[in-house]
Structure 1
Amino acid sequence: MLTVQTPDKNKETIQRFYKECLNTGNTDILPLFIAGDYTGLYKGKAVHGPAGYAETVREILTGFPDIHFTLQTLIAEGDMVVTQWTSEGTHLHTAFGIPATGKKVINKAVTVYKLRNGKIIENEVYSDRLGVLQQIGAIPKL
């Protein structure tokens, strides 16, 4: 059954998603936030459902086990929520094919989420991947 969620409820869902899942690394609760038919992209590859999203989260946490996400802005309209966020973490294990450097990394990004029945069905992340690679020394600063 389709349940219409208000923009404010969708914002609350995204705030809880960051607090309860992304900032704790608890991928067991992803089905509370990610729909079974979720689709997205990570590093140019399709990601499907909570299990696919969990793989993405685990990969990020492997490289940056102390990562913390801070939401700066949430804007919601209809079934869409846009977040502006910053993540900070230490590159302690291989990430993006780059061996650990021990360097602190700050990443700024925007994510656009689409929700249905209170769960994320798709998202697009616009991230400063170049800046992250420069911070860990994988490529020179321009």
Structure 2
Amino acid sequence: MVVTTTREENARLARRFPEDVATEGRIDVIDEICAEDVVDHSPFGEARGREALTERIESLRTAFGGFSATVEDVVSEGDTVAMRVTLRGIHEGEFMGVEPTGREFEVGNMVFTRIDGGKIVERWVQPDTLGLLQQLGAVDRPGT
């Protein structure tokens, strides 16, 4: 059976990841909205499959208390949805070798989501990692 979706349906589906999964912590939604062999590309490596993606999100939610991903803008064209997202949280657990600092952060994030057959099949996630590490105090700002 071939499932076709409109741009609006694709945008609603793509938004569920930052809103339901990342912000609300409804990790089980990954099984509902993502293809079994989903691929997630990010500066932290590539996660292949629902299980690896679930582990990645659980790790982020453990490292950052009060984690939220607010969708600011959405553009949908064909099978791809682009989103500008603001990430926020408090550094409460180890992240990239950095011990918890208790510091709050707010950074931008660009996410491109490809949808096929009514499921998320691939995501490209590009958070402002340098800005995050600077806000956590893990790296100095250039010139300081």
**Same fold per TM (> 0.5)?**
yes
TM-score, structure 1 normalization? 0.94
Compute the TM-score of the two structures, normalised by the length of structure 2.
0.92
Whether the 8 Å contact between 2:42 and 2:126 is mirrored in structure 1 is no
C-alpha distance in structure 1 between counterparts of 2:27 and 2:5, whole Å: 24
Which residue pairs with 1:122 in the alignment? 122
Counterparts of 1:85 and 1:30 in 2: how far apart (Å)?
18
Tell me the residue number matched to 2:107. Answer: 107
Shift of 1:43: 4.0
**Amino acid of the structure 1 residue aligned with 2:81:** V
Aligned equivalents of 2:140 and 2:44: distance in 1?
A: 23
In structure 2, list runs of 5 or more residues that go unmatched: none
How well do the aligned residues superpose, as a CA RMSD in angstroms? 1.3
Per the alignment, residue 70 of structure 2 pairs with 70
3-state SS of paired residue (1:65): strand
The question of whether the paired residues in 1 share the 8 Å contact of 2:81 and 2:112 is answered with: yes
Q: Which runs of 4+ in 1 moved over 4 A?
A: none
SS at match of 1:27: coil
Q: How many residues align?
A: 142
Secondary structure in 1 aligned to 2:66?
Answer: coil
Structure 1 spans left out of the alignment, 5+ residues: none
Residue 42 of structure 2 contacts residue 124 of structure 2 at CA under 8 Å; is this kept in 1? Answer: no
- Corresponding letter in the other structure for 2:106: I
Structure 2 Cα separation of the partners of residues 42 and 96 of structure 1: 13
Q: Does 1:60 align with 2:60?
A: yes
